[in-house]
Structure formats: structure tokens, C-alpha cells
Amino acid sequence: MFRTFLFCIALSGIFSSPSPVCSQEKLKALIIDGQNNHSMWPKTTAMMKHYLEESGRFTVDVARTRFTWQGGELLKQYPAGDKIPRKDLPESRPDPDFKPNFSAYDVVINNFGWKAAAWPEETQQAFEDYVSNGGGLAIIHAADNSFPEWQAYNLMIGLGGWGGRNEASGPYVYFDQQGKEVRDESPGSGGSHGPKHEFQIVVRDQDHPITKGLPTSWMHTSDELYQQLRGPGMNMRILATAYSAPDFRGTDRHEPMIMTISFGEGRVFHTPMGHDDVSFECVGFITTFLRGVEWAATGEVTLTEIPDDFPKADSASRRAFEDR
């Protein structure tokens, strides 16, 4: 695909070899955003951009809708990270000029959210073509709330929530207490969560490049535990789950937390984690996000190093992010 070859100079001396990362082609990533009910979306986009660039594996561009929810003047009034009162939130409006050149990228990271306005038809078609022709896609948290009416989008995300999703969208998919994947056709709305809390992520499939070699469980920083997601769930592989405890208004089920989906020739990495900056600061989130985005771009993972500050089974680990 479209990769920029990076010519590296070994800074440590003319006789030393370039590091493995330096000798690789950088992958081209595009973060798309602009309409998200999560008030800190500009900050979480900045965080993802930073993580991707810091890995040495990606160059990153951002494409943003012109009519942003919580954008423009509001961003001056409420600096990134501030919670904008619901009363001050303008509704999303369609942006007829939102036409990113998806096919110029190896991977697109979707940071849209609930109530995002439908994209222009031409943009939807370009996006479908991009993914089905082998493009990579990453779906983060509320991006699985977006575009409930868009059939191809629902196939790409596998499972979604809110926006009127119900039994017509597809089954609830979760793991039962015996560790068996369940596809539950019972009627009901898709998507809910209890209060934010720390919860444990459990790897269910270690044979995938995204999870290979990772600890089998780790504690995630405080986040919304998305539950009762439902959708077509076709060509979907659930790599990790989290137990949704009744103490936190949970389902008593093990809910999907890391999924991969194939759509045509395209690869999709989907995580419902990532409600706010605290969730994004989790070292487990950062590690699996980078692996997931790289896998979506190439089908392989070279970012296999497990950081020293990776969380333990019973204790979370955060890297404080300062706005840059």
C-alpha cells in the first residue's frame, strides 16, 4: 500500500546499524473525528496520534469534520480535557465536504461517536471500497455507536450499541461462565454500561498477532465497561473479554473487549475500551491499541515488546499524558 520509506541516520555513530524500527517503512495512519458525544475527543485523538508516532512505526494525519460536535469556539471556551456541559453541546450536522482520501492510508482510526451525522454518500462509498479492498480500520469506544443505519458499517464493526440498535441488528455476543462464546438472539436494545470502574481484561485467544505473548490478564484503568453490544458479528474473532459485574450494574457476562473483524479483504481492530483520557492512559490499552492498529494495517505485528510498566492481573498501570 502507500508507505513512506524512512531513511534513517544512525545517530549513535556512523558505524552502528539503524534500529529495526528505523529500517522499516513507516505506515500511514489517518485518525478521523469531529462528531463525538465524548467531550474530550480532541484530547483522545491527540493521545492516539502521540502513541502512534512515538512507536516509530507510523506517520499520522487527522481528518476532521467541519461542523464539529464540541468543536470550534467551544474548544477555546473549554480546553481539551474539560467536561463540556451537555447544554452547551451543539448537535452534529452533516459536513458535505468531509471527503478524506482513505485509500492513501494503510489504516484509518475512527474516533467518531454517538449521534455522528451520516457522511456524504460518496464518502461512505469510498470508505467501503477502501476497507473491502484491503484497508485497515480501528474502531475505538463510541465509534461503535455511530451510523446505526449504515449496513456496511455495522458489518465492519461486528458489534455496536445505542442509536436504536436492537434484535434487528443481530445477536448479543458474549462469553458465558464456562468461557463459551454465546450468540443470543433475544430481543432488546443494544449497548449499555454501568458506572466507570477498573476491570480486568482476560485474553481468550492467544494465537492472534495482537495478543500473542501478552499476559493472559491485566487490570484496565477506570473505564466504561460496554455491555450488551449486538450486531451481525460476522467474520469476527473475540480476542479478549471483561467480566461485567452486577455490582457495577453489569450483565454477569464476559463482554467482548478486543475483537477483529474481516470485511472483504480489509482487517478491522475493534475495542470498546477508551471512554476518556484515564482509560487511554492505561498501558494495556496503549499496548493493544498499537498492536491492533499495526495488525489492521499489515496483518502482522512487529510491536511485540511488552513494556516494563504493563499492568498486572490485579493492578492497573497508567502513563500520565500531558497535552503537547
Q: Which stretch binds Zn ion (CB under 5 A): 76-84, 129-137, 165-173, 219-227?
A: 219-227
Residues 145, 160 contacting (CB under 8 angstroms): yes
Collapsing DSSP states into helix, strand and coil, what is residue 136?
A: strand
Q: Which residues between 139 and 168 bind Zn ion (CB under 5 A)? A: none
Question: In angstroms, what is the minimal distance from the CB of 229 to Zn ion?
Answer: 13
Q: Which stretch binds Zn ion (CB under 5 A): 149-157, 223-231, 261-269, 302-310?
A: 223-231
Task: Number of residues interacting with Zn ion: please give it, by CB under 5 A.
Answer: 2
Question: In angstroms, what is the minimal distance from the CB of 252 to Zn ion?
Answer: 21
Question: In angstroms, what is the minimal distance from the CB of 94 to Zn ion?
Answer: 23
Burial class (CB in 10 A: 0-12, 13-18, 19+), 89: middle
- 73 DSSP 8-state letter: H
Please state, in angstroms and rounded to a whole number, the distance separating the CA atoms of residues 33 and 35. 6
Question: In angstroms, what is the minimal distance from the CB of 275 to Zn ion?
Answer: 4
Is residue 224 a contact point for Zn ion (CB under 5 A)? yes
Please state, in angstroms and rounded to a whole number, the distance separating the CA atoms of residues 254 and 142. 19
Residue whose C-beta lies closest to Zn ion: 275
Question: In angstroms, what is the minimal distance from the CB of 38 to Zn ion?
Answer: 5
Question: In angstroms, what is the minimal distance from the CB of 315 to Zn ion?
Answer: 23
Nearer to Zn ion, 165 or 275 (CB): 275
Nearer to Zn ion, 282 or 297 (CB): 282
Q: Which stretch binds Zn ion (CB under 5 A): 163-171, 195-203, 220-228, 311-319?
A: 220-228
Q: Which three cell numbers stand for residue 82?
A: 474539560
Q: Which three cell numbers stand for residue 76?
A: 477555546
72 phi and psi angles, rounded to 5 deg: 55, -125
Question: In angstroms, what is the minimal distance from the CB of 144 to Zn ion?
Answer: 10
SS3 annotation, 264-287: CCEEEEEECCCCCHHHHCEHHHHH
Nearer to Zn ion, 26 or 275 (CB): 275
Question: In angstroms, what is the minimal distance from the CB of 33 to Zn ion?
Answer: 14
Nearer to Zn ion, 267 or 275 (CB): 275
H/E run at residue 297:
helix 283-298
- 192 DSSP 8-state letter: B
Nearer to Zn ion, 43 or 275 (CB): 275
Nearer to Zn ion, 67 or 280 (CB): 280
Q: Which residues between 266 and 305 bind Zn ion (CB under 5 A)? A: 275
Nearer to Zn ion, 224 or 277 (CB): 224
DSSP 37-67: SSTTHHHHHHHHHHHHHHTTSEEEEEEE-SS
Q: Which residues between 38 and 77 bind Zn ion (CB under 5 A)? A: none
Nearer to Zn ion, 106 or 224 (CB): 224
Q: Which three cell numbers stand for residue 114?
A: 454517538
Residues 154, 191 contacting (CB under 8 angstroms): no
Q: Please report, as a single letter, which amino acid is at residue 98.
A: F
H/E run at residue 180:
none
In the complex, which residues of this chain contact Zn ion (CB under 5 A)? 224, 275
